A and B are shown apart, each in its own frame.
Chain A
Amino acid sequence: MTEPVIVIGAGPGGLAAATTLARAGAPVRLLDEQPAAGGQLYRASERIGGDATSPLKGWLGPDYGAGLPLIRAAQAEANIDWRFDTAVWDIRCDDDGIALGLLSGESVFQDRAAHVVLATGAQERPAPFPGWTLPGVLGIGAAQTLFKDAGLAPEPDVVLAGSGPLLYLFAIQLLNAGITPQAILETAPKNIAPSILPALFRAALRHGSSLVKGLAWRRRIDGSSVPHLYGITDLKAAGDGRVETVSFRHGGREHTLKTSLLLVHDGVMPNTHLTVAARCDHQWNDQQQYWHPTVDAVGRTSQAGLWLVGDGAGILGAEAAVLQGRTAGRALAADLGLTPPDAGTDAADRKALDDLRVLRAFLDRQYPPSPVFGAIADDTIVCRCEAVTAGEIRGLARRGCMGPNQARAFTRAGMGPCMGRQCGNSVGRLMAEELGQPVDQVGHYSARPPIKPVTLAQLASLAGKER
């Protein structure tokens, strides 16, 4: 066979899938919109890992260090054709394969393959609260990206708010770098609820090392001089043109802190823009309150030839993404009539993946989407692009608007530049709540091209050139 398999996303899942396919003898075209491999988690791994003098490697910790070997393993495969700075802005699944609109530098072009593996990862769950549109309010993941990518760190007046493993990890990374945040305002309670204990025990049996690591992080934070409050509510940011103060309730009282930077986090969710555009079947994870594509045990989506590995299929973390990438790579290689490499480790990979699912079941219960961000006040903006408030969405639902797509048409929520990536989750949840229906009955936004921005001139350059 000569037609390449296209892998989209050079993070852990995409790297593993590409490496496995290449080892089986399949030509692979590996696309990523970034200028280097690693995805979001292992971002800048080559620069940081390749520089013995960079202190970042030590600050970021051992988990981050797992990225470089993955990249090196893929780089050792001659069958992989690397295409960085290449964004997918259109996808269409037809009987004769999967057509992609690509953007590289300033030029657009089309590509087509019978088999495409998506490894498009996760995004931070949008966390609406009063003042969240102010400059200086960023995601914790966003700040971590700046830390890895540009060596930028928050000034010590930074306030971290929200919940989830990433909140702890980033706090540890800042402490490693000698930065003591002003405060950590955790929306989750301090203690593990009794109802979650069975999930904790199961996780301890299957993946105890991660729990030990998490406990050590927490102990390190609590042993530092950083004020760490649990169970805060009523988070608000205020300021004139940028964040200046953060207020919240804790212990029955309202508190206000002065800050120039508020970093928030309410967990992560699959990045579904591309899979929705490809019209894959999706399902609603009610516990984690996110949509994810339906995939089989090895990563096949509902669209023939379109595969999905990693957090894009449901949040399981980087270690799982690698296992999924290998599993999908082997299954796809077999479909292509090739001999899958390392077939002997397939069972072990699947077992390891199961262990990670058990761990995740505990993490999901301990860190559900917080009501601090989920109970959105009527005057809080949910669609940042078009400045549409939660109250407008609720009002529409009360007047018989039956779902997010009609709400989008009526309010323009989800029609702005981000095309609903920031408000889709909130709008669906708000409408479901108001209509008294489950979210999966209310539905989600459809996605239209372009998935990434192109100019009209770039689009027009394709006239008369379709493959």
Chain B
Amino acid sequence: MFKRLVDIGTPVTFDFEGRPLTAQAGDSLASALLANGVLDFRQAPEDGTVRGPHCMIGNCFECLVEVEGLGTRQACRERVRDGLKVRRHSGRPVPGEQP
């Protein structure tokens, strides 16, 4: 796992799967979740296995999450913000219920 060695910004609180997590301003959603010990970000739609960040430069699309109001997002390319509501990507979300 990862641990924070150097602070990069002021504390930010966001919501992941209904629980509040603390990150720092400047974190990507991926680094925000990894700093909180979250490795599994989504369920792959084809084989049902869990997946997490792999490349961190927007290429592999393994870090997909669902963000309220924004839908499916790459966690490594989205910045964390106060109050953001984030869920694991379920592989095949129900369109009507998409956050």
A–B direct touch in complex (beta carbons closer than 8 A) = yes
Binding site for B on A (CB under 8 A): 33, 35, 40, 47, 54-56, 106, 123-124, 126, 133, 135-139, 141-143, 145-146, 149-155, 177, 241-242, 260-261, 271, 381, 384-387, 416-418, 421-422, 452-453, 455
Taken together as a complex, chains A and B put the C-alpha atoms of A137 and B56 apart, in Å, by 12
Q: Whole-angstrom distance from the CB of A172 to the nearest CB of chain B?
A: 15
28 contacts between A and B (CB under 8 A): A35-B79, A47-B8, A47-B26, A106-B70, A133-B44, A135-B41, A135-B50, A135-B52, A136-B1, A137-B54, A138-B55, A142-B54, A142-B57, A146-B30, A151-B6, A152-B34, A152-B35, A155-B1, A241-B50, A242-B50, A384-B44, A384-B51, A384-B60, A385-B61, A386-B46, A387-B44, A387-B46, A452-B58
Most buried by A among B7, B57, B58, B62: B57
* B57 and A141 within 8 A (CB): yes
Partner of B57, one of A35, A136, A145, A151: A145
Chain B 37-65 against A: per-residue CB contact (8 Å), 1 yes, 0 no? 00111001011011111111111111010
Task: Closest B residue to A241 by CB, please name it.
Answer: B50
Task: Closest B residue to A53 by CB, please name it.
Answer: B6
Q: Whole-angstrom distance from the CB of B40 to the nearest CB of chain A?
A: 4
Task: Closest A residue to B37 by CB, please name it.
Answer: A260
Q: What 9 A-B pairs have minimum CB-CB distances, sorted nearest first?
A: A135-B52, A151-B6, A150-B31, A142-B56, A417-B61, A135-B39, A387-B47, A387-B46, A145-B56
Known: A139-B55, A143-B2, A150-B27. 10 other contacts (CB 8 A): A135-B40, A139-B56, A146-B31, A150-B24, A150-B34, A155-B1, A241-B40, A387-B46, A417-B61, A422-B55
* B3 and A418 within 8 A (CB): no
* A146 and B2 within 8 A (CB): yes
User: Which A residues are CB-close (under 8 A) to B28?
Assistant: 149-150
User: Which B residues are CB-close (under 8 A) to A154?
Assistant: 1-2
Contact size range, B: 35 or more
Q: Whole-angstrom distance from the CB of A34 to the nearest CB of chain B?
A: 9
User: Which A residues are CB-close (under 8 A) to B27?
Assistant: 150
Q: Whole-angstrom distance from the CB of A161 to the nearest CB of chain B?
A: 14
Q: Whole-angstrom distance from the CB of A421 to the nearest CB of chain B?
A: 5
Partner of A384, one of B4, B50, B58, B62: B62
Main secondary structure of the interface of B (DSSP, over half): loop
Given A56-B6, A152-B34, is A242 in contact with B40 using a C-beta cutoff of 8 Å?
yes
Task: Closest B residue to A240 by CB, please name it.
Answer: B50
Partner of B4, one of A123, A151, A241: A151
Partner of B59, one of A35, A137, A150, A271: A271
Q: Is B94 an interface residue (CB 8 A)?
A: no
* A455 and B57 within 8 A (CB): no
Taken together as a complex, chains A and B put the C-alpha atoms of A33 and B59 apart, in Å, by 12
Q: Whole-angstrom distance from the CB of B53 to the nearest CB of chain A?
A: 6
Partner of A152, one of B31, B46, B57, B64: B31
Q: Whole-angstrom distance from the CB of B96 to the nearest CB of chain A?
A: 15
Taken together as a complex, chains A and B put the C-alpha atoms of A137 and B53 apart, in Å, by 8
* B79 and A261 within 8 A (CB): no
Taken together as a complex, chains A and B put the C-alpha atoms of A416 and B52 apart, in Å, by 16
User: Which B residues are CB-close (under 8 A) to A452?
Assistant: 58
User: Which A residues are CB-close (under 8 A) to B39?
Assistant: 135-136, 242
User: Which A residues are CB-close (under 8 A) to B51?
Assistant: 133, 135, 384
Partner of B7, one of A142, A151, A385: A151
User: Which B residues are CB-close (under 8 A) to A455?
Assistant: 71
Taken together as a complex, chains A and B put the C-alpha atoms of A153 and B49 apart, in Å, by 26
User: Which B residues are CB-close (under 8 A) to A33?
Assistant: 58, 77
